Amino acid sequence: MEIKLGKQIFDLDFHPWSNVVATSLINGKFFVYRYAAESHLAQRLLEVNAHKKNSCRALRFVNEGRSIITGSADCSILSTDVETGTAIARLENSHGAPINRIVNLTESTIASGDDEGCIKVKFHVWDTRHPSCCNSFNVHEDVISDMTFASDSMKLIGTSGDGTLSVCNLRSNKVQTQSEFAEDELLSVVIMKNGRKVICGTQSGALLLYSWGFFKDYSDRFVGLSTISDPSTNSKPSTKSKPSTNSVDALLKVDEDRIITGSENGKISLVGILPNRVIQPIAEHSEKYPVERLAISHDRKFLGSISHDKKLKLWDLDELLLGTGNTAQNPSAASHSDSGGMEVDNNIAKPSRDMPRANVCALAIFAGTKRKIAGKGLSSSETFFADL
């Protein structure tokens, strides 16, 4: 399903329990559409000129889907009633710089990030009966590119164009840690492996893997997406020309072992994590425009994507994943397709961070245990070979 909007799209979000999707545009408007699996046409429910002539950069459903929060280049945050399209509350100058990202934290809390690296946490933005408290984390020196929330530990993970990752503790209202410079712009982030890994997409096209609790430096770097070729062509990249890189602008978690990535070359790919591998490209926006955002519907049946082609596309997720395996593969079965030097997450003790990075070779030692083989009467040496 394809919705042509005619203007550059900045963000999208699915309703938490209904077949409704919203998207925000560069001209300050946002639209709300109803979609159906059996139809190729979407019904427009709402058009709101939320921020006049300033771009509407970020958008999220809140308050159980009854309200929409939008953030703008004019530094304001607006709460709008989904049923009527009327404004509930507007926070003028909520940031000192244009707002770039908004994410949901809890039922009553959102976080917003701006172009100058500031992250703010706000409460009850959509309810005028409650004061809107605000905690600020001035942690980054460049735009907040993406954020994700670990609800069990109440920690907010943020990425920035300054090449660092931050961890803000919402219980103590302090910046817990900030990573070292990754020598790359961090553009997107998700939490994987039951909270043990944080995955970041970068400007160079590499995926950086951070281990939870060890955020100072990444533990793994996967470059399989940076030079991915077009599967529709049989041509091989020239050995004389330098391969072009494709930034990973969007990440979406499918399960604990797989993510969907949106890249600068317009490709949407399914990627396995630990073992790290590009399972396969699954979709592509027209004319190879960059894929800016990805989202998944409430029932996990539709994948939403936006790009510079000014289109909102809704993909049947079951069809996209058909043939790739809807359940995560056994890591041992896919280990041969791993890129060299990538770790297998099997609870092996890690070397000290003071040690220089090096390629580590693991020796697997198999210890045989004695078994009784009924009726065979084998000697100890024969039992050893029988075990093998």
Query: Domains (ranges, CATH) in the chain?
Result: 2-350 (2.130.10.10)
pTM here?
Answer: 0.79
Q: How far apart are CA 1 and CA 133, in angstroms?
A: 40
Going by C-beta distance under 8 Å and a sequence separation of 6 or more, which residues neighbour residue 36? Answer: 19
pLDDT in tens, 300-355: 999 999 999 899 999 999 999 886 665 433 333 333 333 333 333 444 344 444 44
Q: How far apart are CA 91 and CA 77, in angstroms?
A: 5
- Name the band, by pLDDT with cuts 50, 70 and 90, for residue 247: very high
Mean pLDDT (whole number) for 359-382: 39
Q: Where are the alpha helices (DSSP H) in 150-239?
A: none
Report CA Rg, the chain. Answer: 24
3-state secondary structure of 322: coil
Structure tokens at 64: 């159980």
Structure tokens at 200: 């970041």
pLDDT in tens, 167-224: 999 999 999 999 999 999 999 999 999 999 999 999 999 999 999 999 999 999 999 8
pLDDT in tens, 256-286: 999 999 999 999 999 999 999 999 999 998 7
Nearest by Cα to 263 from 280, 248, 244? 248
Structure tokens at 26: 């560069």
DSSP string, 218-273: -SEEE-TTTTPPPTT--PPPPSSSPPPP--EEEEEE-SSSEEEEEETTSEEEEEET
Q: How far apart are CA 63 and CA 123, in angstroms?
A: 11
Query: Cα angle at 151 between 159 and 122, to 5 degrees?
Result: 70
